Structure 1
Amino acid sequence: MYRKNCKIVTADNLPLTFFSILTIILLTNKIIKDNKMTKISTKSLVYIAIGTALIATFSQISLSIGPIPFTLQTLAIGFIACLYKPKEAIASVGLYLTLGAIGLPIFAGFSGGFAALTGPTAGFLWGFLLYATITSMITKITSDPINIFLACLLGTASCFALGCLVFKIISGASWSDTITWTILPFILPDLLKISLVTICHRLSRPIIKKEAYFS
């Protein structure tokens, strides 16, 4: 039913995706070569770069529903938050927001710029930090499938709450309209994304557990 509004990475916008991801890699490489870097390991920076690139890529798979785009951003963020340690998960989202704010076209619909972080839907972008923080902190304790699902559900709810509040304040819409426009259309899609995160995390565990970072 949403097929006609689907926006995906095509041949026309593929160069923007590659440019953005290349920028992320080059920035990370520069930091790694910086002799003053002492508080974060090279491996952590690599994971942060991969996480940021993953979020940037999945942000371009979107459906225009209501006042905000429904994208696969939260699927990528949820998977990263469940897989990474809190520091790397939060840093991945933080770097994504920073690069988007300075103008790289990595937000939904190949958009970018600081205005996205101050407009009516800015709360959802800032909510990604809450999502990553809450989910990664919970899944760090235990990573059984039920806990993964509940952690992502709580992270999603926190993102919804902040996004809804900011939209209400900036737009001046009523609470009923705000909830109708910014939450109700996305409940089912987000439940499906949370389920996918849970399944993907479960399937990836036998592979990634060989890496010391994930153990």
Structure 2
Amino acid sequence: MKQHHTFSIVLPAFGAAIIAALAQIVIPIGVVPITLQTFAVGLVAAIFKPREAALAGLLYLLLGAIGLPVFAGGGGGLQSFVQPSVGYLLAYPLFAFVTSRLTHATAPIWKNFLAFVLGDALVFVGGIISLHFLGNMPWSGAIAVGLVPFIIPDLLKGLVVALVMKPILNSLKNHSYFQ
């Protein structure tokens, strides 16, 4: 039991590290770049239990807030939380929790894909809201720059998460946490 407890404490740190590492893969396309952050959050959510997945997202935000360069392209610090794109970041713990809650190792790929899409949609809602209010964009502009360019890339990310989730969980099935 103690090993399981220790593991569930360490797991969010590992998840935050995965998110931070994949956040460094950036394709600049405008106000909001394409990154692998949402892929990382979705993958963590698909593999971890809801509590640990959400804590990984919160820890990631905390690491960035204290100034570690964990956000896209090496960003970090409190100034990151007043940027027009902060809504995306703030939605990560909710994305992780919801997606984790809805994904299951025994579910068909399409259900796990839909779980990713639903969680990812929460990120876009947060991002569009912050682009509108902090970026002083009209709603149509916030949607045009904060959602439209990401539809295809994020659907592909969700598909990859849904496809790799079961093989990853199968490789981890000997640990009691993943059973």
Give the TM interval when normalised to the shorter protein.
over 0.9
The one-character-per-residue Cα deviations of 1:87-117 (angstroms, maximum 9, x if unpaired) are: 1001111101001011000101111011112
Q: Which amino acid aligns with 1:110?
A: G
Structure 1 residue 205: Cα displacement: 2.8
Structure 1 residue 119: Cα displacement: 1.8
Q: Structure 1: how far apart are the matches of 2:15 and 2:157?
A: 17
- The higher-RCO structure (CA 8 Å, 6+ apart) is 2
Q: Which amino acid aligns with 1:52?
A: A
Quick one: structure 1 residues 106 and 207, their matched pair in 2 at CA, closer, same or farther if it must change by over 3 Å? same
Q: Structure 2: how far apart are the matches of 1:205 and 1:45?
A: 19
The equivalent position to 1:204 in structure 2, one of 158, 168, 174, is 168
Corresponding position of 2:103: 139
Structure 1 residue 141: Cα displacement: 9.0
Q: Structure 1: how far apart are the matches of 2:43 and 2:129?
A: 25
Corresponding position of 2:142: 178
Corresponding position of 2:58: 94
Superposition CA RMSD, Å? 1.7
Query: TM-score w.r.t. structure 1 length?
Result: 0.78
Quick one: structure 1 residues 169 and 101, their matched pair in 2 at CA, closer, same or farther if it must change by over 3 Å? same
Percent sequence identity is: 40
Three-state SS of the structure 1 residue aligned to 2:28 is strand
Contact 2:105 2:169 in 1 (8 A): no
Three-state SS of the structure 2 residue aligned to 1:68 is coil
Three-state SS of the structure 1 residue aligned to 2:68 is coil
Q: Structure 1: how far apart are the matches of 2:169 and 2:146?
A: 34
Q: Structure 2: how far apart are the matches of 1:143 and 1:90?
A: 21
Q: Which amino acid aligns with 2:121?
A: A
The equivalent position to 1:130 in structure 2, one of 70, 94, 106, is 94
Three-state SS of the structure 2 residue aligned to 1:109 is helix
The one-character-per-residue Cα deviations of 1:178-215 (angstroms, maximum 9, x if unpaired) are: 11111111111101110110111022232122221111
Residues 1:69 and 2:26 aligned together: no
Contact 1:81 1:89 in 2 (8 A): yes
Corresponding position of 1:11: none
Q: Structure 2: how far apart are the matches of 1:116 and 1:144?
A: 38
Query: What are the within-5 Å matches in structure 2 for residues 1-215 of structure 1?
Result: 41-139=5-103, 143-215=107-179
Q: Which amino acid aligns with 2:5?
A: S
Q: Structure 2: how far apart are the matches of 1:140 and 1:207?
A: 15
Range with bigger deviation, 140-149 or 204-213: 140-149
Unpaired segments ≥5 residues, structure 1: 1-37
Contact 1:123 1:162 in 2 (8 A): yes
Contact 1:59 1:71 in 2 (8 A): yes
The one-character-per-residue Cα deviations of 1:57-79 (angstroms, maximum 9, x if unpaired) are: 00101101120121101111101
